[in-house]
Structure 1
Amino acid sequence: MLVLLSSSARRRYNDDIVRALAHPAGTEFRFRYGENYLEQDLAARYERTRAVNLAGLICHWATPEGATSLLAPCRFVTVTRIQKVGSSYVFTLRVAEFVKDLDDAKLRGLMTEGELALLPTAKSDASSRAGRLVFEISDALTPFRAATSEAMTAFENTTKALRQEAKFEDSKPIAFFSVQGLSPATGGPPLEPQGGRFELESGRRYFLDIYSYSPEGENNLSDAMTLSASADDSDLKFSSETVAKLDSRYDLIRFAFSTEQQLFELSAGLRLALGVPKTADEKDLEQRCDIMLDLRFRGSLRLAAARVAMIAIGTATPAVIGAYAAGKGSLGLASVMFIAALFTGVATVFPALKKA
């Protein structure tokens, strides 16, 4: 089991923890570490970029003022790729289960003396043996993986532990959120990501459900805080509001989106981000803790061809009948009319082609 620590040294590291809890299982994101923060044997083993399949556990490492450093287990992952870039290592992480019934004391109790010696302390730095942020432990921690039915309870308990024990974002609390699922608007169970992304059908409508939660309750949240959705491709359209206010302790938010029928495959990213007040008057919001969901919409050539043919027949037939009724009909004229109608059908079914 690979342990990956995210410290409280900078705000961006706290944001990474929120992201780890927000991502739905099966999707991917990245963590980056300087080479001095990796266990030496681990750094040597992955000197070259490699595709791997390593079980991992993300923990928040907190050093509250005047207190002993704490480990807050947050999310299980699978490390799928380790890439060395300059003096840094980039870990591609595929999200797995939430963590249940595992705290600082229990995790330390499952580690060997050698593994405990690698844990950072408030006084350690990366130049000494202690102070590694990525290292391996021998225990697989299998009993602490939350089942699907336990996921949201485990999510809530993790946020409570972060806030109460690790004093996570203690001065200006922000809401946590977690993607519940992406499902067809016509019904059916949530879709499972394949290879880190969602495989969808173009021309269909989908719902994205997100659960937001504040461990302290709504009284400690700013009424101006929001969760927003956006896309990196103009072909992905939202049929719902794209900004939701997070003014209660918990809420279930739904964004609806779709694309037009696509002839070819379309890859797009759907971005979710918290809007957090930047100033005391709460008029300006800054986006934080954003995650990107990779989507791939399959084109449907067979269905598209059928729709084009129906439009062409419906458009050309009245014109051909009218031409013959006026005594001006001919096979050549009918052919031209059907060809023109085919172009009309293609432009109607695939409006994106008109942009090219």
Structure 2
Amino acid sequence: MIEKERTYPIRLLMYEALLERIIPNHPKTAFIEQDYRARRAGYRGELQTDYRLSFLPEKGFHIFRDLRLQDEKWHFQIDTLLLTLQYILLIETKAHSGTLFFDKHSEQMIQTKNDQEKSYDNPINQVRMQAWHLKRWLQNHKFRVPPIYQLVAISNASTIIKVSDHSLNNLIVKGDVLLSRVHPFDERTTTPIFTDKEARKLAKSLLKNHSPHHPDILKQYSLSADDLQKGVQCPACLSYGMNREKWIWRCPVCEHKSKTAHHKTVKEFFLLISPTIKNQTCREFCPGVSSKTIKDLLLSLSLPHTGTNKGRIYHMPPDIEIFFDSVKESHATRNSRTNTKANHHTNPR
């Protein structure tokens, strides 16, 4: 049973917004693009893991994807968690290509690609640390601690894996044989630790305590709002600085008109500047737009908010992608109804 689905990572949304907004020819653009490609490849690898595990029996497995919990003052994130009555299995997915050498003594993962070597944090240590945090989390929340197993799944089919010690082969698995490596854990631990009721209670608690992260991507690259292009972007020619005229936005470059061009701007503000927005901070991001217009536009989006009048603060929706997609659909429906009414009045039967 899928207890928690994997959604499109907010960090990837942030990268995409940043690459859209960053001023042209910025010296850090190439570096940001490289990181974005690597993270996107990692996400695709996680989706491959999800697909392979989708063939597990519906009954007997509680599957959590991209779970983030708090262990006292630390947070820890788990790519994939399988909860059964007998054990818990943690899977860390990596999408690296080329040749990967896992050195038990130096505890490094060394990638060789295009005749170049690069060292990475060892994912075996990562997943072991996740198990350590999870054990403490279970104890602090008064749950029994079952055996907690770990695997590192290499999702790229062409990747060659080498190890300095054969014992590491028990921890590292190619994605295409992942499913066959999960089933033996059932044979290793046959005595149930949880009852069905206890497993459901634990699953419910894991979901309740999931703590999404809102990273500061500008801080990550030592950037500020001054490194971003300001204003509403024209959906036609992609230039910035559309003008507000009555109920529409007009592009001064190509004369394109839009009623909803500000949706993307508000979304990018949430992703890049802050998870909260006020009238004043929105005006700073959209120079030349009046306070009243900003107020009307933010109200029209029906965003979560606190406070009233000038003290009103709008908050980023929990799932920003779904929220703005629904706003777009709602607006399209209203336009369709308006056009239907107009046609009815101009073309009566």
**TM-score of the pair, normalised by structure 1:** 0.27
**TM-score of the pair, normalised by structure 2:** 0.27
Which is richer in strand?
1
